[in-house]
Amino acid sequence: MIISGKELSTRLKAEMAEQVAAFPEKYGRVPHLVVILVGDDPASVSYVTGKAKASEVVGIRNTTIRRPESITEEDLLSLIRQLNGDDTVDGILVQLPLPKHISEAKVIETISREKDVDGFHPLNVAALWQKQPCTVACTPKGIIKLLKAAGVTIQGKRAVVVGRSNIVGLPVSKLLLDENATVTIAHSRTTGLAELTRQAEILVVAIGRPKFITGDMVSEGTVVIDVGVNRDPQTGRLCGDVDFAAVEPKASVITPVPGGVGPMTICCLMENTIECFLRRQSR
């Protein structure tokens, strides 16, 4: 079974649009997401455009603020502080990656925890690891939604996550653990990776290497979630970290690239923005 994140996210966004349509009467306004884009990296521009389009579908107000690549760290931080103090703003997202002269860590911790729709703030991350209420990072959250929508039982399963980044590998491992999977995290220094991935009943791959997971690395019946977004060096087309053509016949469930995890990330960003808005309304 190929699980379409595109279809699921379309359905979820329609449900959120209904919810948001009732907000002006109830709260006097709709949620407001501010996205900051530094520079003009084509991939970042396309992600930011996708976020604006999804906001429109859901009925969330979206403001994209563009700043040149040459912006100083202090100017960016002061823009964030200004948005933190702006009561009409519910969510702040700074599109990553940032130019080298700007510390991503400083940017992330400057965004107020309450407006951190990406779920990257150290306090949100700490809360996730302590099972406290928090904003959960969009991609990991979307992955769990995809698994559940596909009817996959997570509890008791051997899950292998390849990749240990702060934005995907680590948080998705924690969410799988919270769903009672038995989780192994692999990374670039893991030895015997293929042996490990063959033991997986659920395999999540987030490494950023085109078609890295080959057919012989996956056992029959495995649930495969491909997070990677890469350019195939041969065709120039988008592809995942998993060699889809070789793995799909063996997998019981697999996500395509594009149209799998990617749309779910944006969908969960919309959900996080609504959650931040509602939390602020109830204060």
Q: Given candidates 54, 92, 102, 168, which one binds ligand NDP under the rule CB under 6 A?
A: 168
Burial class (CB in 10 A: 0-12, 13-18, 19+), 238: middle
Q: Given candidates 84, 230, 252, 281, which one binds ligand NDP under the rule CB under 6 A?
A: 230
- CA distances (Å), origin 209, targets 172, 213, 233, 259: 18, 9, 10, 18
Cα separation of 213 and 219, whole Å?
12
Pairing mode, strands 32-38 and 91-94: parallel
Q: Is 70 in the site for ligand NDP (CB under 6 A)?
A: no
Q: Given candidates 46, 49, 82, 188, which one binds ligand NDP under the rule CB under 6 A?
A: 188
Q: Is 164 in the site for ligand NDP (CB under 6 A)?
A: yes
Q: Is 209 in the site for ligand NDP (CB under 6 A)?
A: yes
Q: Is 171 in the site for ligand NDP (CB under 6 A)?
A: no
Q: What is the DSSP string of 86-146?
A: -TT--EEEEPSP--TTS-HHHHHHHS-GGGBTTS-SHHHHHHHHTT-S-PPPHHHHHHHHH
Q: Is 55 in the site for ligand NDP (CB under 6 A)?
A: no
Q: Is 207 in the site for ligand NDP (CB under 6 A)?
A: yes
Lookup: tokens for 147 = 């698994």
Q: Is 167 in the site for ligand NDP (CB under 6 A)?
A: yes
Tell me if 45 sits within 8 A of 37, measured CB to CB. Answer: yes
Cis peptide before 97, with omega less than 30 degrees from 0? Answer: yes
Tell me if 257 sits within 8 A of 226, measured CB to CB. Answer: yes
The catalytic residue among 13, 115, 116, 118 is 118
Binding to ligand NDP in span 103-162, by CB under 6 A:
139, 162
Cα separation of 212 and 209, whole Å?
6
Q: Is 208 in the site for ligand NDP (CB under 6 A)?
A: yes
250 is catalytic: no
The catalytic residue among 95, 141, 145, 211 is 95
Q: Is 84 in the site for ligand NDP (CB under 6 A)?
A: no
Q: Is 256 in the site for ligand NDP (CB under 6 A)?
A: no
51 is catalytic: yes
118 is catalytic: yes
Q: Is 50 in the site for ligand NDP (CB under 6 A)?
A: no
Footprint of ligand NDP on this chain (CB under 6 A)? Answer: 139, 162-165, 167-169, 186-190, 193, 206-209, 227-230, 261-262, 265
Active-site positions?
A: 51, 95, 118
